[in-house]
Amino acid sequence: MSQKKRILNYLKSGKVLTRLNAWHEIGCIETPARISELRLDGHNITTTMKSVVNRYGENVRVAEWKYHG
């Protein structure tokens, strides 16, 4: 199964995807590129920026993707 298909199935199941969990859940490092491709294919995927603390104790923002069918 392709990365795009795994991402789409994951998002369609109601789960939220970020770069932080994409590698472990789906095996994808270039998630933003796959999300862009899915959008070009006509899928309604929204991006919300979420604040998290990195391993150095710094506040950083990461993209969080959700599917809206």
pLDDT of residue 40: 98
Mean pLDDT of the chain: 96
Question: What parts of the chain have a pLDDT lower than 70?
Answer: none
Q: Which residues contact 7 (CB under 8 A, 6 or more apart)?
A: 17, 22, 26, 28, 31, 34, 35, 38
